[in-house]
A and B are shown apart, each in its own frame.
Chain A
Amino acid sequence: MDTVTHEVLDHLNLGILIVDEKLKILFQNRFMLRFIKRHSEDRKCGSLPELIPGFNSPYFQISLMDALEQGHSLFFSAAMHEKLIDSREKYNIRVTRFMEEDQKRLLLEFTEVTDSFERIRQLRESISQLRLLNQELKQKEKAIQSLAYYDQLTGVANRALFYELAEKFLRAAERNHEVLGLMFIDVDNFKQINDTYGHEAGDKVLVQVAGILTAATRRNDVVARYGGDEFLILLPQINAPDNYKIVVSKILQAKRDAIVCNGISVEICLSVGVSFYPQDGDSIDQLIVKADRAMYIAKKQEGDNWYYPAENI
């Protein structure tokens, strides 16, 4: 090899290695020096497997022999053979056979691809950061949605959600000729509890009431806090006329001793008024007004009570 060629090969940013049929190294350019262990200064360093022991494995032996015999090119990707070269840097290796006189030779080109790996690592990292960010945003969105639709104290639906669902239920009832029930519930002794034990105790009572109502209703019923100590319940698909009575009796039979403070328990008294679509009105507001009125009639009586106008006629 003349000196110019040699010089040029030494300046390539690419490892060049030429081996003979026995994989003995005939030439290597300066780039390849990085694979030689420090203590060895000798540029002519034995065989390919001595330089890179990974080439001893059956896959490489078979592939290299096949390349020598058949003359086909080979490609070894850094990703598939991470352990081949013992360094932080990664290399793709391309192998081509050529003939020198009548001798078979293999040319091995080592291309460094460490940067690609690094870029991909960074890309993956930013993808996973984006994913985390996305998850956070989704959680926040959920939180915001629940702020908008749920009562923060009791966790049941707030007015906004109540009206949204009520409209839907009402339309469904119209469409399917079904009965939609509405209950208006008020805590009789709420003002008294508040005045005697303080607002914190009042809050505890409201939470308890929400729990009682939720437990007494069916899965598709909607319990909502209408405001103050007033709750509403939507009862879609009340098919048998007495179905709602089961819900009412569940509410009235529930254990209603609320621990308000310092071990003092107070019994919660509830009044319930009921109205129905279509008998009592064909809008939610009409139904609320009717149920509210019924509730007031119930309240006038002593203790827990429920009232439905039609039953009074």
Chain B
Amino acid sequence: MDRECFRYDILSELFNIGMGKAADMLSEIVQKRIALQIPKIIIPETESGEQLGDQFSGFFDAALMVSTISFTNSLTGKANLVFPADKIKKFVALCSGEGSLAPEDTAFTDVDFDVIREIGNILLNCILGELGNLINIQLNYDLPQVAVYNRIDFNKDLDGEKNHSFMILFVTFLIDDTEIEGAVIIDLMVESFQELFRLLDGIEAGL
């Protein structure tokens, strides 16, 4: 297995564990089994945010709700949890035990934002926590910020400063019969990205 494949392999496993923990906590809250799928991880080669946007236009072109945690210390970057806005209402209703939703009920309320902040915190915490454990680093971060975007413009919204690299992880939750597709986008400063790869290669060498 070449080095790059192995990096993917470690990251996938790490995200698997993080997502598993997050699903466990969510299932505890909603009192329902959450079916997990193996997350698909993508590290786009492209440097330009625009091309990146084109590559996933299907997913990122719709209205999206994004929770963002900025972290510093050993690695510097942001972790974003992205959900299509039209699915969020359903997700929130499932998580907060609300009954059926009126079809007109599409506006986001403070309560929706609160629920997403908590879910975002659980998920991103589990993923970053697992990352920290595995490569033995400490990351500092605060609670996520939650915002609604009409669409994600990679250039503007994620790649504001140059020298960033992305990791995209597509995740699917299946609660009851509702499938909710989301993505975790980890946006690292290039130096941090290199540092992460250095640490991952160190793990490979240690095996």
A-to-B contact residues, CB < 8 Å: 57-59, 62-63, 66, 70-82, 92, 94, 113, 116-117, 120, 123-124, 127-128, 130-131
Q: Are A81 and B104 in contact (CB under 8 A)?
A: no
User: Would B117 and A70 count as touching, CB distance under 8 A?
Assistant: no
Beta-carbon contact of B117 and A131 below 8 Å:
no
Please state if A78 and B109 are interface contacts (CB–CB under 8 Å). no
Residues on A with beta carbons closer than 8 Å to the beta carbon of B176: none
16 example contacts (A-B, Cβ-Cβ < 8 A) are as follows: A58-B28, A63-B25, A66-B125, A77-B115, A79-B96, A79-B111, A79-B115, A80-B95, A80-B96, A92-B114, A113-B110, A116-B109, A116-B111, A117-B111, A127-B102, A127-B105
Query: Which residue of B25, B109, B114, B141 is within 8 Å of A123 (Cβ)?
Result: B109
A44 to B97 CA separation, bound complex (whole angstroms):
34
A70 to B129 alpha-carbon distance, docked (Å): 8
Contacts of B167 in A (CB 8 A): none
| Least CB separation from B129: chain A residue | A70
Which of B29, B114, B140 has the largest count of A CB atoms less than 10 A from its CB? B114
Contact pick for A74, options B97, B104, B105, B121, CB 8 Å = B121
Count of residues in B whose CB is under 8 Å from the partner chain: 25
A94 contact set on B, CB distance < 8 A:
143
**Which residue among A76, A77, A130, A131 has the maximum number of chain B CB atoms within 10 Å of its CB?**
A77
Instruction: Kindly report which residue of chain B lies nearest to residue A59, judged by CB atoms.
Output: B28
Residues in B whose Cβ lies below 8 Å from that of A71: 140
| Proximity bits, B119-147, A CB within 8 Å = 1, else 0 | 00100010001001000000011110000
Could you tell me if B111 and A59 are in contact, using CB atoms closer than 8 angstroms?
no
Bound-state CA distance A73–B142 (Å) is 6
B118: CB under 8 A from chain A?
Answer: yes
A72 touching B28 in the complex, CB below 8 Å, given contacts A78-B111, A127-B105: no
Q: Are B114 and A78 in contact (CB under 8 A)?
A: yes
Q: A92 — which chain B residues lie within 8 A by C-beta?
A: 114
Query: Closest CB of chain A to B65's CB: distance in Å?
Result: 14
Q: Which of B102, B110, B118, B121 contacts A124 (CB 8 A)?
A: B102
- Please determine whether A127 and B104 come into contact, CB atoms closer than 8 angstroms: yes
A125 CB, nearest partner CB in chain B, Å: 10
Task: Report B97 CB to chain A, min CB distance, Å.
Answer: 7
Let me know if B175 is at the binding interface, CB within 8 A.
no
Whole-angstrom distance between the Cβ of B112 and the nearest chain A Cβ: 8
> Which of chain A's residues have a CB closer than 8 A to the CB of B129?
66, 70, 72
B105 touches A124 (CB 8 A): yes
Q: Which residues of A contact B115 (CB under 8 A)?
A: 77, 79-80
A-side contacts of B110, CB under 8 Å: 113, 116, 120
**CB-defined contacts of B10 to chain A, threshold 8 Å:** none
CB-defined contacts of A77 to chain B, threshold 8 Å: 96, 111, 114-115, 117-118
Task: State A76–B117 Cα separation when bound (angstroms).
Answer: 9
Query: Smallest distance from the beta carbon of B51 to chain A beta carbons, Å?
Result: 34
Interface residue B92 (Cβ < 8 Å from any Cβ of A) = yes
**Complex interface: chain B residues within 8 A of A70 (CB):** 129, 132
Q: Are B29 and A81 in contact (CB under 8 A)?
A: yes
Partner of B114, one of A66, A74, A113, A124: A113
Q: Which residue of B lies closest to A94 (CB)?
A: B143
Contact B97 A82 (CB under 8 A): yes
Inter-chain contact A120/B111, CB cutoff 8 Å: yes
Q: How far is the CA of A116 from the CA of B125 in the complex (A)?
A: 27
Instruction: List, in ascending order, chain B residues with CB within 8 A of A58's CB.
Output: 28
A75 B104 Cβ-Cβ under 8 A: no
Are B28 and A57 in contact, CB atoms less than 8 angstroms apart?
yes
Cα-based distance from A71 to B129 in the complex (angstroms) = 11
Give B135-165 interface residues, CB cut-off 8 Å to A. Answer: 140-143
